[in-house]
Structure 1
Amino acid sequence: MLNSQSPRRVIVPWALADRTGLLMVCLVIAIISSYKLLDVPDLKPGDIAPFNATAPKTAFVIDTAALQQQRKDLIPRTSVQVIDKGESQKIQEELIKQLGYLEKVSSGTKGSNSFRIGPVNLTPKEREWLANQTTKSRKQWEGEIILLSQKMLSQGLIKTLAHDQILESAKFQLSAQAESNNPSINLGSKLIANTLFGKTNLQHDAARSQQLLEELITKQGIPEIEVKKGDLITKKGERITAKGYVVLDHFGLIRRSARPLEWFGKFSEALASCLVLLMIMRRDKPSLKPKNGLLPLGLLLIVQASKDWFGAAISPLQILVPPTLLLSQGISTTTALGWMAIASLLWPVPVSGIGEGRLIIAVLTSTLVAILGGRMRSRAQLLQVVVFVPFSAYLSQWVLLRSQLFSSGGVWRKLSPNSETLLTEALVLGAILMFTILLIPIIENTFGLLTRARLMEISDQEKPLLRRLSKEAPGTFEHTLMICGLAEEGARSIGADVDLIRSGALYHDVGKLHAPEWFIENQENGVNPHETLDDPLKSADILQAHVDEGLKLARRYRLPTPIADFIPEHQGTLKMGYFLHKAKEKNPSVEEKRFRYKGPVPRSKETAILMMADGCEAALRALGPQSTDIDAESTIRKIIRSRKLDGQLLKSSISNSEIELVIRAFISVWRRMRHRRIKYPISSFKASYPA
């Protein structure tokens, strides 16, 4: 009897670049999970209150929200404007420029337009008046125009003042010195109106406006909130109102300083959780590749970002159940449970805000999905989850919500009291689960995962590669089916992955398609081409080629990596004993290494079981009809012991006690293989069924 000591589980090493990439994802998750502790203030109006708060004393608190609204309403009425001397100077310069055009007209400058000064049209009377003016009289008139514009600008000019209003004002002030229909008045008023129209020399005075605003607020009265000692300010689990926030801030219950120590603790917790998740995965599946580890971390990143974005409005069911189902199908139940536990504990917002009761139901539902998901073997079973899981979750929340046991208060009171809300949540969960199931094939290819449903599809014997094997190498196909029976029973006896080993066993010898006649199970009429070849080295190359060609076919037919691993690992680095013996007869100094398969040796329990089944199948079939269980056990032990002594099982993580169970399973299958039917006498058969 072999002892029960288990060999060390060999974990496939990851490259430094892959480990660095995964670490960066872990850091991002840790930052998202903890940055709110550095964000100040820690609470805002509209947030879910994480605690019950009561007023420690009676106080009158300024209602800042109402005060802000009051200020907003008064701002349009308190905007104080003052004269901008710079803008006034620019307008004056524009007017002087227009008067310059007028001087050109009066002096008859070549090229001047006698009918228009800038935008001003000249009437015949105005042209005549202008022509009759002396230089002295014109300069005096221009001075009066400039003086009038200064007076008007000193009173303030608004941009939206109508043109006719400016024109009328200018005429009114100029007519005090002459008749209103005097051409000089008409021309001067048009010059002023056209220059000032659409311009302003006013600017906002912030200081005087603020002073006026404060005076009006004081006059109207500052809004206050009266709070008495013991009054409830906020209730745990409910949204913080604007007034509640003001009162909390007044009593110093709003944190306005960062909490670096708490942040570091939360950051470290999140980072450590991510690393623990990777350790769980690698412990459970030592052969996992880095991109396999990226999937649970990526899902955790999405979930943490969703928690931060939606806050307390997030549904625990909707963010925990679908990823758990995906991981249980794609990796393992253990990984799914570990992910779910970490995602349930890491909340950027206080868990009390979303409701402990809802979270507990989500955790229980996710646990059930993780256990069932690892056992589901078809897409149809997955579709049943879309119906039954949301319905069960809805029913659980509805019953607990109305249970008299919790009606007096407690964690279950955080459940939404609205049945329509719970129903909507269940329907959305069903839709997300359906979308997740549709995404599974894409995720399988992207991350190199192998779900139960995918394994069942791969093991369909109508697949093109398996049909080729059955037609072109029927002996190998029959050998494959026999090994399937042994390997499945052996895997089942120790709780290994039966679906994986079945699929791997079906494809492990597909490389023999390149030259099926060179393998004894396909040879007919006793003709063995190796005897004709009479070259042990070339024969060894042919045997190794069935592994190399098998890997090529696996890539061509896009077999998943865990299935392709069975092709080289079922042979490991075993010796080709027969041809080594033949070679030593010809050359005693020949190297043994030349007659070993290239490997690698089995790196999982499943490939180790297949190696043992492959070695035992032919030997068990060769036993005579009178052989006993003792003979079969002796044969099996001899073969397995040779594999152990040759170091073929060291990296497979299969223990000696598990090997014992596999041996018993092989014997059980052998009993079925050796079963013989009763031979009926031909004469009796003909008498019973005459022609």
Structure 2
Amino acid sequence: MAVVLAALLVGILSSWPLLREPVLAVGAIAEQDYRAPASAQVIDRAALQARRSDLGLRTVVHVTDSQQNLLLKSALERSLGELGRSIATDDLAVPPIDLSREELEDQQQLQGDDRQAWEQEVLDAQQRMLAQGLVASISEQSLRSAAQQQLSALSESKLQQQVGAKLLVRSLLGKTNLRADPDLTRKLTEKLLNQNAEVIQVKTGDLIVRRGEQISSRQFDVLDHFNFVPRRLQLENWAWRFGEAVLGSWLVVQVARRWNPRLQPHHGLVLLLTMALVQGVKLWLRAAVSPLAVLVPPTFLLAEVMGTGTALGWLALASALWPFPMDNMGLLRVLVAFLVAAIAALTAGYQRSRAQLLQTATLLTLAALLLQMLTFRVAEQMRVVSVGLLSSGEPLGEGLVMGAILLLGLNLAPALENTCGLVSRSRLLELADLQRPLLRRLSRETPGTFEHTLMICGLAEEGARAIGADVDLVRTGSLYHDIGKLHRPQWFIENQSDGLNPHELLNDPWTSAKVLQAHVDEGLRMARRARLPQSVCDFIPEHQGTMRMEYFWHAARKHDPMAQEKDFRYRGPTPRSRETGIQMLADGCEAALRSLPPEVGEGEAHATVRRIVDSRIRDGQLVQSGLSRMELELVVDAFVKVWKRMHHHRIPYPIAPKDIITS
């Protein structure tokens, strides 16, 4: 019920903007005369938006680039130097410019201080031209005319003016010293909009629109200003949007269950409440919301605790349910955020420690910054978005906000895992540390059980790896599956080093069966006190399922042929996932494989494992596990491979006679 209510909440938040659609609209017919109740100045929003779009595409503020000015000045100085050397050596084979005979003779006569003064005048003329700004697309004729105007001080020597103009044209033609300034462009655009905003003057009693007339955009703005535009539910549009959101929520939960069958209803509730939170933030901030900040962190954290498939499904729905229309800029931002979040979901599954998660979060932040800035720059050049609407600090700010939320979420993740019953891969690896308190107790107080546990871990890990199950979960669950034996370790044969068996002294199969069941019950109590995740706790009862305690069942039949079989079965439940199913099989096969003589061949080991697996199938223990027949065959092969590693042959080392050693 809580999951259903959460899905309805997502639907309401996603369709909320459609709950207050205006009854009147541009192009609708007025049902009555509307008059202004007071004087007012109303901004024509349609004209303002059109002017904003027009200004954004046409208005670009350029500033002179001092670095480019230096490069252009250096080019002119080189040309002047080349010309001077050519005149001095009478070597005009490769002149910097073409000179007529009159110009050549005039240049040859220009020597000493007069030549330095002429060269300085040419340089000064170039600086004046650059100070006004130089456009690369200006024609050669216009540039030559401007150069001659700037060299008007050389009017007493027309030939010097012509040569100087040629040098200026050679150094400046096709060049520019201008660059676009985004901040100044944005400020100019806003200034022009404020100065030239379309204002509608309305006086008290003025007729806004007559009954029966079509409402224009200007009239609609005035009606809306005086609250003459009531809002009401647009049932059809709202129902479609609401239905899409609820159906999408249901699909996300189904994808999550398909991806991870162990997910419980409260996990689905967490999934949908996260979606509702994101939808609420979108509604609250509206156009100011940062897609990077609301899409990437939740996707990354959900991938870590629920799997990549679940996170990608959540991301697809969160991106699709944007509650308001988007312009080109908004669409680009959502696409960039979607791409970064998808990368985050795909990489989260490979992180195996908190340190790696923090490193990945930092790299994701840098990648988001670079990708967003690159996308905006390409969009500006293609005129998809306006340079005037961008500020240089906007992509940086969004990336930093995303990074801050991501790091905050990673720091709060352990508390959320404990509260919501979730478990991340890094958490599983931390719990698998053999220095954990429960595992240390297991190794000290029940050495036989601990050795049995390590053997099962090897079998279960290889089986999980063979069918693509969660190896980390299998390893951690196997380590904790028998912690209940800490309650009475001497009642289990692997811990009876002195050869005394309390069950033989007791001689009561019913009581012995209760002792065996108690190791499951006590294990669950210990696991909950240690705050182990539920997915790990499930290994404790499910590794025994509802199997029959064969030894004590047969002993009870000898005492009383009317003994009840249910008294000698574990209370279960049977394995409900592939991981616990593999662990049950590993627990049953470990003792049988270890007891095989060294000379036994692989075929007999294979038959032994298959016999145990078939017995579990016949007993109905694997019905809920989701293990297919093909997967079971792969698990059998994996167990035999581990057995072969355990029983590899060793070369016998010769032992020296005792008298040689002592001597």
Normalized against structure 1, the TM-score is what? 0.67
More off after superposition, 563-572 vs 512-521: 512-521
2:426 to 436, 445, 453: 453
1:585 paired with 2:558, answer yes
Amino acid at match of 1:574: M
C-alpha displacement at 1:43, in angstroms?
12
C-alpha displacement at 1:630, in angstroms?
0.8
1:682 to 655, 658, 663: 655
1:342 to 301, 317, 329: 317
1:36 to 14, 17, 20: 17
1:393 paired with 2:362, answer no
Specify the alignment match of 2:381 in structure 1. Answer: 407
Cα distance in 1, alignment partners of residues 571 and 558 from structure 2: 23
Cα distance in 2, alignment partners of residues 575 and 671 from structure 1: 29
More off after superposition, 272-281 vs 375-384: 272-281
Cα distance in 2, alignment partners of residues 459 and 227 from structure 1: 65
Cα distance in 1, alignment partners of residues 348 and 216 from structure 2: 47
Amino acid at match of 1:636: V
Query: Relative to structure 1, is the Cα distance of residues 277 and 502 closer, same or farther in structure 2, using a 3 angstrom cutoff?
Result: same
Cα distance in 1, alignment partners of residues 596 and 415 from structure 2: 48
Specify the alignment match of 1:312 in structure 2. Answer: 287
Query: Relative to structure 1, is the Cα distance of residues 428 and 567 closer, same or farther in structure 2, using a 3 angstrom cutoff?
Result: same
Cα distance in 2, alignment partners of residues 226 and 315 from structure 1: 26
Query: Relative to structure 1, is the Cα distance of residues 225 and 545 closer, same or farther in structure 2, using a 3 angstrom cutoff?
Result: closer
Specify the alignment match of 1:533 in structure 2. Answer: 506
Query: Relative to structure 1, is the Cα distance of residues 43 and 394 closer, same or farther in structure 2, using a 3 angstrom cutoff?
Result: farther
Deviations 1:289-328, CA, capped at 9 Å, x for gaps: 3322222212111111111111111111110000011111
Specify the alignment match of 2:218 in structure 1. Answer: 250
Cα distance in 2, alignment partners of residues 394 and 532 from structure 1: 73
1:383 paired with 2:358, answer yes
1:282 to 239, 257, 279: 257
More off after superposition, 479-488 vs 360-369: 360-369
1:435 paired with 2:428, answer no
Deviations 1:483-507, CA, capped at 9 Å, x for gaps: 0011111111111111111111001
C-alpha displacement at 1:690, in angstroms?
10
Cα distance in 2, alignment partners of residues 347 and 460 from structure 1: 43
Cα pair 2:544 2:572 within 8 Å, conserved: yes
C-alpha displacement at 1:570, in angstroms?
0.1
Amino acid at match of 2:526: L
Amino acid at match of 1:409: R
Deviations 1:361-386, CA, capped at 9 Å, x for gaps: 11111111111112311100110122
Cα pair 2:44 2:199 within 8 Å, conserved: no
C-alpha displacement at 1:263, in angstroms?
1.4
SS of the residue corresponding to residue 393 of structure 2 reads helix
Cα distance in 2, alignment partners of residues 361 and 457 from structure 1: 34
Amino acid at match of 1:23: V
Query: Relative to structure 1, is the Cα distance of residues 300 and 256 closer, same or farther in structure 2, using a 3 angstrom cutoff?
Result: same
Cα distance in 2, alignment partners of residues 416 and 616 from structure 1: 68
Deviations 1:317-365, CA, capped at 9 Å, x for gaps: 1100000111111222111111111000001111336522221111111
Query: Relative to structure 1, is the Cα distance of residues 549 and 227 closer, same or farther in structure 2, using a 3 angstrom cutoff?
Result: closer
Specify the alignment match of 2:630 in structure 1. Answer: 657
SS of the residue corresponding to residue 419 of structure 1 reads coil
Deviations 1:21-60, CA, capped at 9 Å, x for gaps: 332222222222112123244999xxxxxxxx9x9xxxxx
Specify the alignment match of 1:136 in structure 2. Answer: none
Q: Counterparts in 2 of 1:316-327, with a 5 A limit?
A: 316-327=291-302
1:472 paired with 2:440, answer no
Cα distance in 1, alignment partners of residues 640 and 46 from structure 2: 86
SS of the residue corresponding to residue 575 of structure 1 reads coil
1:425 paired with 2:243, answer no
Deviations 1:176-231, CA, capped at 9 Å, x for gaps: xxxxxxxxxxxxxxxxxxxxxxxxxxxxxxxxxxxxxxxxxxxxxxx999989xx9
C-alpha displacement at 1:590, in angstroms?
1.5
- For these two proteins, the number of residue pairs brought into alignment is 498
Amino acid at match of 1:661: L
C-alpha displacement at 1:414, in angstroms?
9.1
1:25 paired with 2:6, answer yes
1:262 paired with 2:211, answer no
Q: Counterparts in 2 of 1:139-158, with a 5 A limit?
A: none
Amino acid at match of 1:68: A
Query: Relative to structure 1, is the Cα distance of residues 555 and 408 closer, same or farther in structure 2, using a 3 angstrom cutoff?
Result: closer
Amino acid at match of 2:344: V
Cα distance in 1, alignment partners of residues 514 and 547 from structure 2: 14
Cα distance in 1, alignment partners of residues 659 and 424 from structure 2: 53
Amino acid at match of 1:472: E
Cα distance in 1, alignment partners of residues 509 and 577 from structure 2: 31
SS of the residue corresponding to residue 682 of structure 1 reads coil
Amino acid at match of 2:510: L
SS of the residue corresponding to residue 651 of structure 2 reads coil
Cα pair 1:544 1:597 within 8 Å, conserved: yes
Query: Relative to structure 1, is the Cα distance of residues 390 and 309 closer, same or farther in structure 2, using a 3 angstrom cutoff?
Result: same
Show structure 1 runs of 5+ residues with no match: 1-18, 45-52, 56-63, 71-222
C-alpha displacement at 1:586, in angstroms?
2.3
SS of the residue corresponding to residue 367 of structure 2 reads helix
Normalized against structure 2, the TM-score is what? 0.69
Cα distance in 2, alignment partners of residues 414 and 495 from structure 1: 49
Cα distance in 2, alignment partners of residues 409 and 364 from structure 1: 22
Cα distance in 1, alignment partners of residues 414 and 55 from structure 2: 40
Query: Relative to structure 1, is the Cα distance of residues 251 and 674 closer, same or farther in structure 2, using a 3 angstrom cutoff?
Result: farther
Query: Relative to structure 1, is the Cα distance of residues 526 and 505 closer, same or farther in structure 2, using a 3 angstrom cutoff?
Result: same
Amino acid at match of 1:537: W
Cα distance in 2, alignment partners of residues 659 and 417 from structure 1: 58
Cα pair 2:578 2:627 within 8 Å, conserved: yes
Specify the alignment match of 1:500 in structure 2. Answer: 473
Cα distance in 2, alignment partners of residues 413 and 371 from structure 1: 33
1:68 paired with 2:36, answer no
Cα distance in 2, alignment partners of residues 512 and 395 from structure 1: 55
- Cα RMSD of the aligned pairs, angstroms, is 3.5
More off after superposition, 384-393 vs 278-287: 278-287
2:642 to 669, 677, 684: 669
Cα distance in 1, alignment partners of residues 47 and 371 from structure 2: 40
Report sequence identity in percent: 47
2:343 to 360, 364, 368: 368
Cα distance in 2, alignment partners of residues 638 and 603 from structure 1: 22
Cα pair 1:357 1:413 within 8 Å, conserved: no
C-alpha displacement at 1:69, in angstroms?
4.8
Amino acid at match of 1:347: W
Cα distance in 2, alignment partners of residues 386 and 281 from structure 1: 23
Cα distance in 2, alignment partners of residues 431 and 306 from structure 1: 16
Cα pair 2:461 2:474 within 8 Å, conserved: yes
Cα distance in 2, alignment partners of residues 647 and 505 from structure 1: 21
1:554 paired with 2:527, answer yes
Amino acid at match of 1:658: E
Specify the alignment match of 2:68 in structure 1. Answer: none
Deviations 1:260-298, CA, capped at 9 Å, x for gaps: 211111111112112222222233333433322222212
Query: Relative to structure 1, is the Cα distance of residues 268 and 369 closer, same or farther in structure 2, using a 3 angstrom cutoff?
Result: same
Query: Relative to structure 1, is the Cα distance of residues 446 and 244 closer, same or farther in structure 2, using a 3 angstrom cutoff?
Result: farther
Query: Relative to structure 1, is the Cα distance of residues 287 and 225 closer, same or farther in structure 2, using a 3 angstrom cutoff?
Result: closer
Specify the alignment match of 1:329 in structure 2. Answer: 304
